Amino acid sequence: MKATISPTLFRNRVAVKISFFINGFVLANWLSRLPRIQELYHADNGTISIVLLAMSVGAVSAMPFSGWVIIKNGSRKITLLSLLMYCIIVPLLPYMPNVPALMALYLVMGIFTGMLDVAMNAQAVMVEKQYKRPIMTSFHALFSIGMALGAWCGALFTDLHAALIEHFGIVVFASLMAAAWASRNLIYDKPDPSLKHDGPLFRLPNKALLSIGIITFCCMLGEGAMSEWSVNFMENIARSEKAVAPIALSAFATAMTVGRILGDKLRFIFGDQKMIMAGGLIATIGLSIAVTMATPWTGIAGFFLVGLGLSTIVPIAYSISGHTKDLPPGVGLAMVTTIGYSGFLIGPPVIGFIADWQTLRIALTFVIFLFAAMTVLAFRYKQNS
């Protein structure tokens, strides 16, 4: 018999979805204007890559401490603080005096996005616990939808030749209005009064969480590799036309969104372990098709399968880590997000290094092995937990 969902709990779920949506929406908007930011600071590709790396370093540095901060302050407060600071920082991007100052700003922005990632997922875990059924992938679907709409919004402002301050100002104002509604409907989780002793700011993962963390690492490394190298693969390995090459990335992103929209129903039917195993297997087959056949249309089909396979793995991993016994949601999430996001951070450069040393085809073959390892770990996870 289906449980009755109270209006308050429904508003809690919508509020958390809004947080995920704002995160993806704002991210895609400033990413869409990155060429203009690069032009404004007279930065070459290498320089802007280092600037963006600063953001990733900030995020990875903040994540291990986020669980402790959430315990001390509550995930609602940290979610709202991080959203507010993120929205405040974005309009400042065109106004830094030089590249080092821009890098410092991206570092700070990375710290708040890292905290936001842990805190809003902690909120999602609390909502999922009250629903008493899998709903985590629906939150991540809103992030993907926010990214898609944000990219279209960025394209519109670019086509209108809007100044960055006008573009970012409008986007941030709309996001803050949505966040204001969400602020009244996020779950009020109080700080944990038991945390009065002086202890480490973060904890190392236990065996079960380490396994989930490695699965997340492999998945997010694959996501980063697909985002950064799929178009390059299509042009230089699959020999597609330049106009066709981006379709592979679009296919990957579309499949991620579709998989996350459908993921919760499939989780309910098949369970978490089978979903991760199936996702890893589909991603392995998809990338194998793209790499071995290396034609434009098999590349597009292969990258679509990769997106479909990877789509639910990170949300499921976050859900598992947030439901870990004897750990508050924020602590388990901080452990797994730190390990996973490290894969997203180092994946693209590692693929680039292997591609320079050998070929991009061999570099992506390395990713296939990681997907296979992820599938094996998922098969063994239940036995070890």
Q: Would you write out the chain's pLDDT as a tens digit for each of its 385 residues?
A: 455 788 999 999 999 999 999 998 998 888 888 888 988 999 887 788 788 888 888 988 888 888 888 888 899 999 999 999 999 999 999 999 999 999 999 999 999 999 999 899 999 999 998 998 889 999 999 988 888 888 888 888 888 899 999 999 999 999 999 999 999 999 988 765 554 444 454 555 666 688 898 999 999 999 888 877 888 899 889 988 877 887 888 888 889 999 999 999 999 999 999 999 999 999 999 999 999 999 999 999 999 999 999 999 999 998 888 877 766 666 778 888 888 888 877 787 788 888 888 888 999 999 999 999 999 999 876 544 4
C-alpha 204/C-alpha 199 separation (Å) is 13
Q: Check if the beta carbon of residue 172 is closer than 8 Å to that of residue 89.
A: no
C-alpha 56/C-alpha 77 separation (Å) is 23
Residue 201 lies in a domain: no
Whether 121 and 240 share a structural domain: no
137, 167, 183 — which closes off a domain?
183
C-alpha 16/C-alpha 186 separation (Å) is 6
Whether 376 and 291 share a structural domain: yes
Give the total number of structural domains in the chain.
2
What distances in angstroms separate CA 117 from CA 58, 125, 147, one per listed residue? 12, 12, 15
Whether 23 and 103 share a structural domain: yes
Residue 241's Cα: distance from chain center in Å? 29
Residue 134 lies in a domain: yes
Whether 294 and 148 share a structural domain: no
If one counts every other C-beta atom within 10 angstroms of the C-beta of residue 70, the result is: 28
DSSP letter for each residue of 235-297: HHTS---TTTHHHHHHHHHHHHHHHHHHHHHHHHHH-HHHHHHHHHHHHHHHHHHHHHH--HH
Q: Which CATH number belongs to the domain containing residue 275 in this structure?
A: 1.20.1250.20
pLDDT at 64: 83
Model pTM greater than 0.85? no
The whole domain housing 108 covers 7-183
Whether 30 and 139 share a structural domain: yes
Whether 227 and 289 share a structural domain: yes
Of 135, 164, 162, which Cα lies nearest the Cα of 9? Answer: 135
183, 215, 240 — which closes off a domain?
183
Whether 11 and 53 share a structural domain: yes
Whether 123 and 222 share a structural domain: no
pLDDT at 191: 67
pLDDT at 205: 63
Whether 354 and 221 share a structural domain: yes
C-alpha 190/C-alpha 208 separation (Å) is 27
Residue 245 lies in a domain: yes
C-alpha 373/C-alpha 319 separation (Å) is 21
Residue 160 lies in a domain: yes
Q: Check if the beta carbon of residue 313 is closer than 8 Å to that of residue 279.
A: yes
Q: Tell me, what DSSP letter sits at residue 133? A: S
Whether 229 and 373 share a structural domain: yes
pLDDT at 210: 84
183, 218, 253 — which closes off a domain?
183
| Helices and strands (H and E) in the chain: how many | 14, 0
Residue 202 lies in a domain: no
Whether 80 and 212 share a structural domain: no
Residue 12 lies in a domain: yes
Whether 238 and 155 share a structural domain: no
pLDDT at 240: 86
Residue 198 lies in a domain: no
C-alpha 322/C-alpha 209 separation (Å) is 10
Residue 194 lies in a domain: no
